[in-house]
Structure 1
Amino acid sequence: MSTILVIAAREDWPTDRVVKALTDRGVDVFRMDAEDFPQRLALGGRIEDGNGWTGSLRSPYRRLELGDVSAVYYRTPNPFRFPGGMSGPERRFAAAQARSGLGGIVAALNCRWVSHPSAMSRAEYKPVQLDVARRSGLGIPRR
């Protein structure tokens, strides 16, 4: 089954509207917020010759097979949330590991993306914005 993975903050109303429009059209949607990982969202995956990434994302309510993801819609999820007793260095280490594990596998999925995180990061640089505007035929102010 083809599923759109939506990664966004739980309280993001524009994403609520996107999810509603998709589900109204009969599209299967799996919505998640990064703050749920790893406390309420589990990931199990491995790469196989000829198949790419296999495995699943599991919430208390649903399971999504990685091979079923046909597209990812990404809109600024909340940061990862960890147990309260962790020190600052432990939190930073855990966040880096979560970003590499969850973020790395999701970024490696062979599917369409709306607002890929690496494209969003690249677009934050003003020189990149100006170059895209120039290549698109827009005038660039001298100052």
Structure 2
Amino acid sequence: MSVDGPVLVLTCADDPTSDVVLAELNNRGVPVFRCDPADVLTGRLEVSAHFGTSGARSYLRTDARTVDLSSVRSVYYRRPSSYLAPTTMSERDGRFAKEQAKHGMAGIVASVRGRWVNHIWRAVEAEFKPTQLIAAREAGFVVPPTIITNRVDDVRDFTKEQGSIVYKPLQNTDLAGSDGTAAAIWVDEVEASKLDAGLGLTLHLFQRRVDKVADLRVTVIGNEIFSVRLESPHIDWRRDYDQVRYSVVDTPVDIAAQCRRYLDKFGLLFGAFDFGLTGDGSWVWYECNTGGQWHWLELETGLPMTAALADLLEITR
């Protein structure tokens, strides 16, 4: 690790959030090397990693520049693309190439020393909803009763116990509608009577609906915590951003401590936490996204989030 070396930014080409961080780092005179690890399959990224008695030496090269990974001061791991095999390959060869690239690149970049926001392995561990639910309860958050199942009868029993329930995807998946446009599955209320045997084909997450008056997004960036109240007519405020109203709020001391305990459990420096705010003032935990969006909140509220993230990546001592 070099405190004068570049910041390595691992993300896809279309990532406006990374763009603003890179612009801030450039304004500070901090060198940056940006690439998408999946480009190793397109020829836009060349890699050489040497191992042996003389130690390890790894280099990444794009058309614009080359980086020695031993010189990297910090890593911003944002939203790399999925590994896709070249369409010119057969299905068998493509599957082989994809797996070789994925495992090789992950191992090479994961060996980079220095500060990560967030480290690839830590981010993967914290991605799974069941793991999150356990960690959230251990951190002290109020967690809604939740069931993950493929049994219709168990969901119906859960509804009898909890009353109104909602469905949440276990993982955000790239989906497309019949016209080819991007589609999304929103958090929404579920009528157990309408569930059928098709539920048994995979796992589903159901949760007691929180009787909320607003939503809260708490973004933790290193030692900085930024909390924003979001008011929307929808259960899932993401359904229509134009109807969301934003206001900056103070983070309760207990919530701040719980957020830090949660991130410390996974070894994370960044987390985007979602909560529901109930009428009695309780903050009910929903989830934590280790690569969550945050820049739009800065645009809406003026909170200095870009600067906080640039500080974290620039100052590694």
Structure 2 length as normaliser, TM-score?
Answer: 0.41
| Alpha-carbon distance change, 105 to 35 in structure 1, aligned in 2, over 3 angstroms | closer
Residue 43 of structure 1 is matched in structure 2 by 47
Q: Work out the CA distance in 1 between the residues paired with 2:111 and 2:77.
A: 14
Residues 38, 102 of structure 2: 8 Å contact kept = no
Q: Work out the CA distance in 2 between the residues paired with 1:65 and 1:13.
A: 26
Q: 4+ runs of 1 displaced by more than 4 Å?
A: none
Structure 1, 115-124 or 91-100: larger mean CA deviation: 115-124
Residue 256 of structure 2 is matched in structure 1 by none
Pair 1:131-2:134 in alignment: yes
| Alpha-carbon distance change, 142 to 36 in structure 1, aligned in 2, over 3 angstroms | closer
- Correspondence list, 1:1-143, <5 A: 1-38=4-41, 39-47=43-51, 53-143=56-146
- Secondary structure, aligned partner of 2:56: strand
Q: Work out the CA distance in 2 between the residues paired with 1:85 and 1:133.
A: 45
Question: Which deviations, in whole Å up to 9, do the C-alpha atoms of 1:73-96 show, x marking residues without a partner?
Answer: 111212335443201221111111
Larger radius of gyration: 2
Question: Which deviations, in whole Å up to 9, do the C-alpha atoms of 1:105-139 show, x marking residues without a partner?
Answer: 11112222112232222222222212222232212
Structure 1, 58-67 or 71-80: larger mean CA deviation: 71-80
Q: Work out the CA distance in 2 between the residues paired with 1:113 and 1:8.
A: 13
List gaps (5 residues or longer) in structure 2: 147-317
1:142 aligned partner, one-letter code: P
Shift of 1:52: 5.1
List gaps (5 residues or longer) in structure 1: none
- Secondary structure, aligned partner of 1:37: helix
Residues 76, 117 of structure 2: 8 Å contact kept = yes
Residues 3, 69 of structure 1: 8 Å contact kept = yes
2:45 aligned partner, one-letter code: L
Shift of 1:14: 0.6
**Structure with higher RCO (Cα < 8 A, 6+ apart):** 1
Structure 1, 32-41 or 5-14: larger mean CA deviation: 32-41
| Alpha-carbon distance change, 19 to 91 in structure 1, aligned in 2, over 3 angstroms | same
Q: Work out the CA distance in 1 between the residues paired with 2:17 and 2:123.
A: 17
1:2 aligned partner, one-letter code: G
CA-based RMSD of the aligned residues comes to: 2.0
1:25 aligned partner, one-letter code: R
Q: Work out the CA distance in 1 between the residues paired with 2:38 and 2:145.
A: 43
Structure 1 length as normaliser, TM-score?
Answer: 0.86
Identity of aligned residues (%): 38
Q: Work out the CA distance in 2 between the residues paired with 1:127 and 1:83.
A: 34
Q: Work out the CA distance in 1 between the residues paired with 2:128 and 2:64.
A: 39
Count of residues in Structure 1 that have an aligned counterpart in Structure 2? 142
Residues 53, 66 of structure 1: 8 Å contact kept = no
Residues 8, 75 of structure 1: 8 Å contact kept = yes
- Secondary structure, aligned partner of 2:76: strand
Q: Work out the CA distance in 2 between the residues paired with 1:106 and 1:30.
A: 13
Structure 1, 80-89 or 103-112: larger mean CA deviation: 80-89
- Secondary structure, aligned partner of 2:23: helix
| Alpha-carbon distance change, 21 to 48 in structure 1, aligned in 2, over 3 angstroms | farther
